[in-house]
Structure 1
Amino acid sequence: MDVLDLARWQFGITTVVHFFFVPFTISMAFLVAIMQTAWMRTQNERWLRLTKFFGKLLLVNLAVGVVTGLVQEFQFGLNWSDFSRFVGDIFGAPLAMEALLAFYLESVFVGVWIFGWGRIPPKIHLATIWVTACATLLSAYFILAANSFMQNPVGYRINEEAGRAELTDIWAVLTNKVTLITFPHTLFAAFMVGGAVVAAVAMLHLVKGRRDPVTAAPEAASDAGAFRSALRIGAVAVLIGGVGTAITGDLQGKVMTEVQPMKMAAAEALYETEQPAPFSLFTVGTLDGSRALYSIEIPQLLSFLSTGSFEGEVRGINDIQEEYEELYGPGDYAPNIPVTYWTFRFMVGCGGLAAAIAAWMLWTTRRGSVPGSVWMLRAAAVLPFLPLAANSFGWIFTEMGRQPWLVFGLMPTASGITPGSTAGSVFATLSAFTVLYAGLTWLWIWLLVKHARPGLPDVSAEADWGRRRSRDVAGTGRDDDDADRPLMFAY
């Protein structure tokens, strides 16, 4: 393997592993915020116990995810300095906004949320987790804006003298048509991940409680009621996320057809332009990916997905290749067809299966029932990995389908490599990062299992804190129990 291949492998490994944590953080922050809000409104301890229980999983994910993100940024400077030099003026702007605004808010307010239990007024404490959750969305938006520039360059000009692209319109970058549809698509997909984790953990605890001989204890009944509520919230989040992902994915396909027709053609292994074009459920092609040998197709569906019309024309790989050769010069402008074709289908398949399991969970737990089927246990164990895999396959498809471009139409991937890099040096860092990421992934899973396995925590101190604050004496800043103490001690 040459320097380019090794550098691409390094980028792929670090990006995919880091993206394990992104959808988990986004969705879990909102789900925990919803649980804490439910506690504040109802003063029912089950919601407080769920908040503390799933809040630990959120914090584990945040801690490990930050480390993987730092390593990912470090490898940009190692292997892709020419890319940074050429488009750093544009690509760096939204990333700087993410670090200075979104990540700052997320870090500060999650810290206040962690250490603020029992120390600050409950409503202010609740606001901190909501600010944290919104900051994760802001962070995702800025990062997607940077990535969308690579898919559809806007808001720039080429400085021929400096030999680099320069930012001319930051608003155009932030409102890129690719960003505007990729953001909700990513958001809905993220909620499938968090919802799946909540639903799966709750289901496993419900089944465990049912099989435990000590089921008559009040604590066990309380835990069962809390986990049933969590399961249904998680399953609903998966279903809403699934529907939203499908709708936004359809819109994203139409935008992709407009700005990157080669990616859409590769996703369907469509070699010749067709009108109308069928959608292939299964295709077997030649080893070099140059043509299809056998395909199972749904007539006219690809035309609708690409153009919104069942009679629409979808351009094929061969025609687009000829156009790109005239526009950009000689070269192979088709991505790896088998990879783009199958990652697209694995993305859809894993997401659809996760939604089906979530619907099954809702059905089997209706009217307070607890399923005892071994198949439900197996499905619950698999559920968290399905939307996680769907998200990963989606990113692989997005990045591999753009090849051979690093910035579409502006910079080939081979031109972004750091000058002077050697295969040996890149292989060394690739090996080190792979070992590091494998260790971090193992640590992440171990910590999640460790904190998810026990039952719900005791929250008597926090519950008393919340109840006392709810009886705050109007206009004094003190509650009834503090009425005989100086104001400075009220909090």
Structure 2
Amino acid sequence: MSVEILSRIQFAFTISFHYIYPPLSIGLGLVMVCMEAMYLRTGNKLYETMTKFYTRVFALIFGIGVATGIVMEFEFGTNWATYSKYVGDVFGSALSAEGIFAFALESGFLGLLLFGWNRVKPRTHFFATVMVTLGSMFSAIWIVVANSWQQTPAGFHIVGSGMNARAEITDFWAMVFNPSAVDRVLHVWVGAFLAGSFLVLSISAWYLLHRKYQDFAKASFRIALVVALVSSWTQLFLGDRSAKVVARYQPVKLAAMEGHFDSLAPAPMYLFGWVDQNKEQVHGLGVPGGLSFLTYGNFHAPIQGLNATAPENRPGQVNGVFQVYHLMIAVGSLMILLTTIAAFWFRRDTLFNKRWVLWIFVWSVLLPQLGNQAGWFTAEMGRQPWVVYGLLRTSNALSQAVRANQVVFSLILFVFVYMGLFALFLFLLNRKIQHGPYWATEEMHSSMHKDMAEHFGHGKGQPAEQ
């Protein structure tokens, strides 16, 4: 394989692995804020125990996320030196802002969040929890802004030419608020909220199935379900907005996402299918005029096809873009269905009697991860062959000195190291879950049962026997 393909595979592997963790920390941070707010409002120690437990889980996720993210900064220099020179002014500004507004805020209050229990007042600790969560969200802003600039460049001019060309910012705020930035930031945030809330749902469901910490699990499940329900429906709206931005500024990507080669009016929206790139056909089930309606509110509006663009300016793997896009849609729809039905059964006080549903929630932690990964693969594969849309080709962004054998060797090392880190993460996470909220004994939970009865009822909602 060529240096370009190998370098793309290496970066895709490292960033995909890293992206398991930041959404979890952002989403879990929001859930922790809700839990600690409930403690301050009610004075119920169960919510304090809950926050303490998930703070330990948060610390593990945060630590692995930092360790896996450092590698990518070096890859910019080793594999993508021309790219780094080209976007250095833009990325330098965005990443500097991340350090000032995000890392400083997050790291400044992280110690208080982790070690401030019983050392500061409850409201002070809650403030620290909020600040750490906001810091992680601010970090996402600047990363997504930088990536969105690659998708829809704005607020810059080009200095130099050829291999010495680089983008130089002329309007910082135009760069920050480039046409796709706001919608993509919101889309990423809500995807992170789903990742964190489904992690809590999974852990809570596991406790309920194994009859451990019943009141703890029911209360945490309820909080996470509210976050997941609101987030899943919100993501439907934000996904639609993001698709409209793609249709306006990156019509070639939209055509690849739906496998449209010819410009059509009306244009169908495929529910699933397979793209035959040689015959320029899609074999699958589509809704006639669906894409035209969702994009422009008109079933007969024309949609630009791939054939309106020169072949060298189109994504090379149209079927790949098509599949990951439809995987994202399928996962998002499944999360909406699952959380909506669960909320209905929760209101009827029958949810915790359905062991098969609880088992689904145990494994549902994978859904947001699949959706988030599929969304990023759609964005990045659909932008090809450009690394900066319409300006810098991926093939021209490589380091001139790197060789294929060097990339293969480093990729193999990354695979071994990252798989080791992932195994360590799963081991430590499982140990924390198995051990449970160890500073709260079963006797403590029993004493709280009366306090929680008004929320759940005596004896109600217990998992049914096998």
Q: Which of 268, 281, 296 in structure 1 is aligned with 2:258?
A: 268
C-alpha distance in structure 2 between counterparts of 1:447 and 1:264, whole Å = 41
The answer to whether structure 1 residue 343 and structure 2 residue 330 are counterparts is: no
The answer to whether structure 1 residue 294 and structure 2 residue 296 are counterparts is: no
Whichever residue aligns with residue 234 of structure 1, its letter is A
Whichever residue aligns with residue 314 of structure 1, its letter is I
Q: Give every structure 1 segment of 4 or more consecutive aligned residues whose post-TM-superposition deviation is greater than 6 Å.
A: none
Distance change >3 Å, CA 356–CA 454, structure 1 → 2: farther
Contact persistence 1:354–1:386 (CA under 8 A): yes
C-alpha distance in structure 2 between counterparts of 1:181 and 1:418, whole Å = 32
C-alpha distance in structure 2 between counterparts of 1:290 and 1:2, whole Å = 26
Percent identity (aligned): 31
Distance change >3 Å, CA 427–CA 376, structure 1 → 2: same
* 1:279-333 Cα distance to aligned partner (Å, 9 max, x none): 01223332x45511523210111012222322221011111337xxxxxxxx352
- Post-superposition shift, 1:234? 1.3
Q: Could you say which residue in structure 2 is the equivalent of 1:212?
A: none
Q: Could you say which residue in structure 1 is the equivalent of 2:181?
A: 179
> What secondary structure does 2:352 align onto?
coil
The answer to whether structure 1 residue 446 and structure 2 residue 435 are counterparts is: no
Q: Could you say which residue in structure 1 is the equivalent of 2:415?
A: 434
Contact persistence 2:187–2:239 (CA under 8 A): yes
Equivalent runs, 1:275-290 vs 2, <5 Å: 275-286=265-276, 288=277
Over the aligned positions, Cα root-mean-square deviation in angstroms equals: 1.8
Q: Could you say which residue in structure 2 is the equivalent of 1:469?
A: none
The answer to whether structure 1 residue 359 and structure 2 residue 340 are counterparts is: yes
Q: Could you say which residue in structure 2 is the equivalent of 1:165?
A: 167
The answer to whether structure 1 residue 319 and structure 2 residue 324 are counterparts is: no
Whichever residue aligns with residue 401 of structure 2, its letter is G
Contact persistence 2:236–2:332 (CA under 8 A): no
The answer to whether structure 1 residue 144 and structure 2 residue 139 are counterparts is: no
Distance change >3 Å, CA 332–CA 157, structure 1 → 2: closer
Whichever residue aligns with residue 70 of structure 1, its letter is I
> What secondary structure does 1:310 align onto?
coil
- Post-superposition shift, 1:359? 2.9
Q: Could you say which residue in structure 2 is the equivalent of 1:483?
A: none
> What secondary structure does 2:19 align onto?
helix
Contact persistence 1:49–1:457 (CA under 8 A): no
Equivalent runs, 1:164-313 vs 2, <5 Å: 164-209=166-211, 223-286=213-276, 288=277, 291-292=280-281, 294-313=283-302
Whichever residue aligns with residue 262 of structure 1, its letter is V
The TM-score with structure 2 as length reference comes to 0.90
> What secondary structure does 1:176 align onto?
coil
Distance change >3 Å, CA 290–CA 21, structure 1 → 2: farther
Contact persistence 1:283–1:292 (CA under 8 A): no
The TM-score with structure 1 as length reference comes to 0.86
Q: Could you say which residue in structure 2 is the equivalent of 1:129?
A: 129
> What secondary structure does 1:395 align onto?
helix
Contact persistence 1:206–1:370 (CA under 8 A): no
Q: How many residue pairs get matched?
A: 440
Q: Could you say which residue in structure 2 is the equivalent of 1:75?
A: 75
Q: Which of 391, 403, 416 in structure 2 is aligned with 1:422?
A: 403
Q: Could you say which residue in structure 2 is the equivalent of 1:15?
A: 15
* 1:107-127 Cα distance to aligned partner (Å, 9 max, x none): 121112112111122211110
Contact persistence 2:201–2:362 (CA under 8 A): no
C-alpha distance in structure 2 between counterparts of 1:282 and 1:351, whole Å = 14
* Higher alpha-carbon deviation: 45-54 or 368-377: 368-377
Q: Which has the larger radius of gyration?
A: 1
- Post-superposition shift, 1:166? 0.9
Q: Which of 391, 394, 400 in structure 2 is aligned with 1:410?
A: 391
C-alpha distance in structure 2 between counterparts of 1:142 and 1:293, whole Å = 37
* Higher alpha-carbon deviation: 334-343 or 58-67: 334-343
C-alpha distance in structure 2 between counterparts of 1:172 and 1:310, whole Å = 34
* 1:442-465 Cα distance to aligned partner (Å, 9 max, x none): 2222222211223333359xx9xx
* Higher alpha-carbon deviation: 149-158 or 359-368: 359-368
* 1:347-378 Cα distance to aligned partner (Å, 9 max, x none): 11112222322233334444554635452243
Whichever residue aligns with residue 383 of structure 2, its letter is R
Contact persistence 2:35–2:223 (CA under 8 A): no
> What secondary structure does 2:315 align onto?
coil
Q: Could you say which residue in structure 1 is the equivalent of 2:453?
A: none
Q: Could you say which residue in structure 2 is the equivalent of 1:401?
A: 382
Q: Could you say which residue in structure 1 is the equivalent of 2:452?
A: none
C-alpha distance in structure 2 between counterparts of 1:253 and 1:171, whole Å = 23
Contact persistence 1:317–1:334 (CA under 8 A): no
Whichever residue aligns with residue 347 of structure 1, its letter is M
C-alpha distance in structure 2 between counterparts of 1:239 and 1:97, whole Å = 32
- Post-superposition shift, 1:25? 0.8
> What secondary structure does 1:177 align onto?
coil
Contact persistence 2:259–2:282 (CA under 8 A): no
C-alpha distance in structure 1 between counterparts of 2:259 and 2:77, whole Å = 35
- Post-superposition shift, 1:144? 0.4
Q: Could you say which residue in structure 1 is the equivalent of 2:451?
A: none
* Higher alpha-carbon deviation: 258-267 or 352-361: 352-361
Q: Could you say which residue in structure 2 is the equivalent of 1:40?
A: 40
* 1:246-292 Cα distance to aligned partner (Å, 9 max, x none): 10110111100111101000000001001111101223332x45511
> What secondary structure does 2:435 align onto?
coil
* Higher alpha-carbon deviation: 177-186 or 348-357: 348-357
C-alpha distance in structure 2 between counterparts of 1:205 and 1:285, whole Å = 43
Whichever residue aligns with residue 415 of structure 2, its letter is T
Distance change >3 Å, CA 238–CA 335, structure 1 → 2: farther
Whichever residue aligns with residue 258 of structure 1, its letter is R
> What secondary structure does 2:283 align onto?
strand
C-alpha distance in structure 1 between counterparts of 2:283 and 2:46, whole Å = 55
C-alpha distance in structure 2 between counterparts of 1:132 and 1:289, whole Å = 50
> What secondary structure does 1:166 align onto?
strand
